Structure 1
Amino acid sequence: MAGNSDPLSPRAKLAVTAGKAVAAASRAAGRGSGSVIGGRVALKLDPDLLGRLAQNLDVVLVSATNGKTTTTRLIAEALRAAGPVVSNALGANMPAGITSALAGGSDAKFGVIEVDEKYLAGVARDTDPKCIALLNLSRDQLDRAAETRMLAENWREGLAGSKAVVVANCDDPLVVWAASSSPNVVWVAAGQMWKDDAWSCPSCGGVMQRPGDDWFCGECGFRRPTPTWALSGDHVLDPHGSAWPIHLQLPGRANKANAASSAAVAAVFGVPPQVALERMYQVQAVAGRYDVVQFQNRDLRLLLAKNPAGWLETFSLIDPPPAPVILSVNARGADGTDTSWLWDVDYTRLTGHPIFVIGDRKLDLAVRLEVANQHFQVCDNLDQAVQMCPPGRIEVIANYTAFQDLRRRVGN
């Protein structure tokens, strides 16, 4: 990957080879893609490997609470118009998974990398990115992640003085606070449906005023910056005021917002909006999300929702009542073991839908639905839930590990 001008050191080559061997062994043993364990081994052998692998790439980092994986895919598709791309498309977004992904892209020009919010500052330090996309920050994995204000502060300190062009959502006050330490920011009006994590000013703690789509702090004057890119209905407005139509196979307003941010990133690398947006149409599903699968003679649409902001966006996608909805929630390590976030989700939006509840924490979810006056049935597993659903397409909404369980069960 480092090209002829600067070949990898013998140690780095050994680390890459060993990592790939361990990953292959893990795959052969049926333990997943092997990318994380392979990356861990490679980094043990050469702790500077991530930086070495990134040194001849134009790197884009994508971080957010929601939409990272999809936006990474959209940017990767857009940049393929300008050259080969290497990307961690399957969402292994901590340093080991990122290292593994880059080790597989020897002829790439661009590295498009999804990064877990907690690791953004460190990965940015190692990879010297040309562009960093910041989409949103909201509560997630309550037992693992610091509260959102602390994450924003971590980003702000980690990105201060960065040479990267930061493409940031001006509608999320926490993202604006984080990005404002960078000297080169492109502001995108991508919208913010979930506002409950940004009611106080991240700068001074004052109460945020939100007239219409605007926001500002009445205490210290911290306010929404003027965007140069914007999502406007089904179009992206570029800095010249031209409106470019968004044609996606992915559903919902959130994905149009992801496309708007992706078009702004592509422009940093000289790919025009029209070309970028046309290429994004190729993306049909992202790691199984939005896929419609056949199961027990029914059509199941698989939707991922990991936190309150994600559930809110997902509810806006589903077919109207009386479309049946299956909800599945786990609380394993990758989900966060604290399920108190269920109380932040407005489940009254499901009124009129027949609801079926499965997953490790189905009883936690059942209590929440009871309080929200929803009609639901608790089921033992997906098979039973599908059999109890009335005919027609079934919307299946699950959090992270529950979603992986569902994909395995339906053979997706």
Structure 2
Amino acid sequence: MSKLSLRARLAATLGLSAARLSRATGRGDGSVIGGRVALKVEPDVLAELSRGRQLALVSATNGKTTTTRLITNALRALGPVATNEFGANMPSGHITALSSDLEARNAVLEVDEKYLPMVLSDTKAAVVVLMNLSRDQMDRASEINLLAQKWRFALRGSPAHVVANCDEPLVAWAGLGSSNATWVAAGQRWKEDSWCCPECGGHLDRSADPHWECHECGLRRPEPSWVLDGDTVTDPHGRKHELRMKLPGDANRANAAIALATAAVFGVPPDNALPRLREVTSVAGRYSSIQRGPVEVRLLMAKNPAGWLESFAILDPPPVPVALSVNAQVPDGRDTSWLWDVDYTVLRGRKVFVLGERRTDLALRLDTDDVEFEVIDHIDQAVAKTGTKRLDVVANYTAFQQIRTEWGRVT
């Protein structure tokens, strides 16, 4: 990368010192405070740290952290990669990530959806990865059609190569703002936010799923060059690649397909990338298993209706019970009305535990879907009452982090 100015180098050094101090005192991983300190010293530090690098920005409502990890692993075939591995996905976190490895020519940054246009403008990223958009944190997040519009406008003015899921109409419409795109048929299980055309507002015809089309303005699904079918990905040359991922579920197979397409843009072919993707078994505690006495507990994080739908799809079958934990702190969003958009009927017939700060909200929702449950105060009560040797836990963001912290920050 190009040489940093003296002021930017000082900013990076002071930011890293603040991050280390934060970790040493147990106040956090330091990703946010480090970037904030650096910004105080040099407001343009993100642009300076990005200059001379090949950056990939990864944005979506669900799967950002996992896909960032997968792409990072694949690109390590080319050498060191700077990345925000702790999930701090706003500019302060990006600054800390880039400061942590000044010599890494490649970088992969997870980016919060609403910050993507600004971060793209500052970093001049070479690649932008777009996966999905769905309702999330409804009390404070922008309406998703507006987000897609902002993405589309930002990409119109950028030479970045876009890698996008063509099965997600909002994402595809945003990606069509770019003149240079790679389309991946990665699938879309949650469709409740994409029945209307983002271009004209007309009805999207999805009767020939996965194909979608607006008969009023002509907007339609772009033709994919990478196609996910079950556990197989077909590349632009027609070669088929078996994923055989250790991460579970269709959502992670979609993440892997997009990671393969992104790695190829950087010059890493699937045969080199796939073994590195298969090394990933958990991401920041997601999908990890921990032994609590005789019970093996698997941790799943889901923060919105689309995420809960994907989590339910990978639950162990009955009689394995499930514990559901919901908070409503600032990082989660205060509004829990999204609970009513989730179909809980799939939980009928199994033992269900309910906990978290908003357990009564969740209990009411389960009751309306005729799902039997038991309200508990602490996750260890669920472990003690499982009656089996396995337990699945599905929790939203802060509830998930609380469990991780109590159980030793499993990775």
In which range does the TM-score fall when normalised by the shorter chain?
over 0.9
Deviations 1:167-225 (A, max 9, x none): 01000000011111111011100000000000111011111110232111122111111
Mapped to 1, the partners of 2:187 and 2:157 lie a distance apart of: 26
Q: Secondary structure at the match of 2:233?
A: strand
Q: Secondary structure at the match of 1:47?
A: coil
Identity across matched positions, percent:
57
**Runs ≥4 in structure 1, deviation > 3 angstroms?**
none
Which of residues 263, 282, 286 is equivalent to 2:283?
286
Q: Which residue of 1 aligns with 2:44?
A: 48
Mapped to 2, the partners of 1:160 and 1:386 lie a distance apart of: 51
Task: State the shift of 1:322 in Å.
Answer: 1.8
Deviations 1:60-103 (A, max 9, x none): 00000001000000001111111211111111000001100110
Tell me, yes or no, if structure 1 residue 254 matches structure 2 residue 259: no
Q: Which residue of 2 aligns with 1:307?
A: 304
Q: Secondary structure at the match of 2:256?
A: helix
Mapped to 2, the partners of 1:296 and 1:341 lie a distance apart of: 34
Mapped to 2, the partners of 1:341 and 1:219 lie a distance apart of: 31
Q: TM-score, normalised by structure 2?
A: 0.98
**Aligned letter for 1:104?**
S
**Paired residues for 1:126-275 under 5 Å:** 126-211=122-207, 212-275=209-272
Mapped to 1, the partners of 2:155 and 2:141 lie a distance apart of: 19
Which of residues 4, 8, 12 is equivalent to 1:8?
4
Tell me, yes or no, if structure 1 residue 318 matches structure 2 residue 308: no
**Aligned letter for 2:323?**
I
Which of residues 343, 346, 350 is equivalent to 2:347?
350
Tell me, yes or no, if structure 1 residue 401 matches structure 2 residue 401: no
Task: State the shift of 1:28 in Å.
Answer: 2.1
Task: State the shift of 1:409 in Å.
Answer: 1.4
Mapped to 2, the partners of 1:391 and 1:253 lie a distance apart of: 26
Deviations 1:37-63 (A, max 9, x none): 110110111111111111121100000
Mapped to 1, the partners of 2:236 and 2:17 lie a distance apart of: 47
Q: Which residue of 1 aligns with 2:20?
A: 24
Number of residue pairs aligned between Structure 1 and Structure 2: 408
Task: State the shift of 1:385 in Å.
Answer: 2.0
Q: Secondary structure at the match of 1:11?
A: helix
Mapped to 2, the partners of 1:386 and 1:233 lie a distance apart of: 33
* 8 Å contact from structure 1 (residues 161, 183) kept in 2: no
Is 20-29 or 89-98 further displaced after alignment? 20-29
Q: TM-score, normalised by structure 1?
A: 0.98
Is 108-117 or 155-164 further displaced after alignment? 155-164
Deviations 1:134-180 (A, max 9, x none): 00000001111111101101111111131111001000000011111
Task: State the shift of 1:122 in Å.
Answer: 0.5
Task: State the shift of 1:25 in Å.
Answer: 1.9
* 8 Å contact from structure 1 (residues 332, 401) kept in 2: yes
* 8 Å contact from structure 2 (residues 29, 86) kept in 1: no
Q: Is the alpha carbon distance of 1:296 and 1:409 closer, same or farther for their aligned partners in structure 2, counting shifts above 3 Å?
A: farther
Q: Which residue of 1 aligns with 2:117?
A: 121
Mapped to 1, the partners of 2:293 and 2:42 lie a distance apart of: 49
Q: Secondary structure at the match of 2:394?
A: strand
Q: Secondary structure at the match of 1:191?
A: coil
Mapped to 2, the partners of 1:19 and 1:82 lie a distance apart of: 27
> Which blocks of at least 5 consecutive residues in structure 1 are unaligned?
none
Q: Which residue of 2 aligns with 1:392?
A: 389
**Aligned letter for 1:235?**
T
**Aligned letter for 1:155?**
W
Which of residues 71, 77, 81 is equivalent to 2:73?
77
Task: State the shift of 1:235 in Å.
Answer: 1.1
Which of residues 63, 84, 91 is equivalent to 1:88?
84
Task: State the shift of 1:34 in Å.
Answer: 1.1
Mapped to 1, the partners of 2:361 and 2:377 lie a distance apart of: 14
Task: State the shift of 1:351 in Å.
Answer: 1.2
Task: State the shift of 1:109 in Å.
Answer: 1.7
Mapped to 2, the partners of 1:270 and 1:23 lie a distance apart of: 33
Q: Secondary structure at the match of 1:113?
A: strand
* 8 Å contact from structure 1 (residues 71, 262) kept in 2: yes
Q: Secondary structure at the match of 2:241?
A: strand
> Which blocks of at least 5 consecutive residues in structure 2 are unaligned?
none
Q: Secondary structure at the match of 2:300?
A: strand
* 8 Å contact from structure 2 (residues 319, 388) kept in 1: no
RMSD, aligned α-carbons: 0.9
Q: Which residue of 1 aligns with 2:54?
A: 58
Q: Secondary structure at the match of 2:187?
A: coil
* 8 Å contact from structure 1 (residues 247, 278) kept in 2: no
Mapped to 1, the partners of 2:180 and 2:58 lie a distance apart of: 16
Tell me, yes or no, if structure 1 residue 327 matches structure 2 residue 320: no
Is 6-15 or 234-243 further displaced after alignment? 6-15
Task: State the shift of 1:8 in Å.
Answer: 1.2
Q: Which residue of 2 aligns with 1:101?
A: 97
Mapped to 1, the partners of 2:381 and 2:279 lie a distance apart of: 35
